[in-house]
Copies of this chain bind each other. A is one copy, B any other.
């Protein structure tokens, strides 16, 4: 039984992780650090877990967590995991970061998009980007995983097998729609229920921090024009990608690389993904359409941002790191309805 710890367990990523670990056959939550809740019982702070956990929150202590855990997840707000990750690595822990601090290999890009200097650049070379289809071998032995961002997961999966066919001169247009849990638990008038219910909006046009992450993972093959939107639902991301391919592209053939992937599902020709089919699951569903009239190829993907887009992806990485069955604790079907 792999002993798991979490730093920052009360945010939405942390909660989802706790939920998944409760049903994991080979891993178990044994420690949770929280600044605000230290000393309190987890089930009192999060009543959804009553009768499921006897964990008591503790203050963050890298050494103590490292001693009692085989792996430690970091689920703190952006720009705080650099420090916590460095402390944990220093203490010798195997670390999986659900935040964005270790995703960009280029500290300059980090500084530009995250508006702060990176304080743990020494860890970037050893850090593995936690997208199993492309980094599975490295994940087996790494001590530090950076779990990808939710929007990038939804974009990289459909794009990566087609990179050889992407025009390098025209930016790839990526329009994503996300549920509100992606914005986290922090109160914000924009996400007060009466403000966001029955609402739609776009935000961070051209400046979202997931832009350099996507471009890094498509090998800087082309620039991406990424526009995130929010819609009135809690979970899920739908991403539509438009680009001009070369004439020879055959998406069905290119996507055969995913046939053996347990959590990437390429739909039959003519079918398109919907969030409901991946809700509360670890799957990424992919569909596509070629528009002969315009010459564009359209890709559509769907994920659950908290599970396939954060905590489930983290557990999949954990399973690989510790030699467990890769799908252990993750075989949830889409919760439809």
Contact = CB atoms under 8 A, between A and B. Distances in A.
Contact of A192 (B185, B202, B267, B291): B185
Contacts of A275: 198-201
A240 B285 CA distance: 23
Contacts of A329: 23
A170 interface: yes
Interface in A246-289: 262-263, 265, 267, 271-281, 283, 285, 289
> Interface centre among A23, A205, A293, A329, by most B CB within 10 Å?
A205
Interface stretch (A78-86, A133-141, A222-230): A222-230
B331 A206 contact: no
A274 B181 contact: no
Interface string A195-228: 1111111110110000000000000000101010
Can you list the 4 inter-chain pairs with the closest CB atoms, starting with the nearest? A48-B334, A194-B337, A206-B291, A231-B231
Interface of A: 12, 15, 18-19, 22-23, 25, 46-53, 170-171, 173, 175, 177, 179-181, 185, 187-189, 191-203, 205-206, 223, 225, 227, 229, 231-238, 240, 242, 244, 262-263, 265, 267, 271-281, 283, 285, 289, 291, 293-296, 298, 300, 302, 306, 329, 331-337
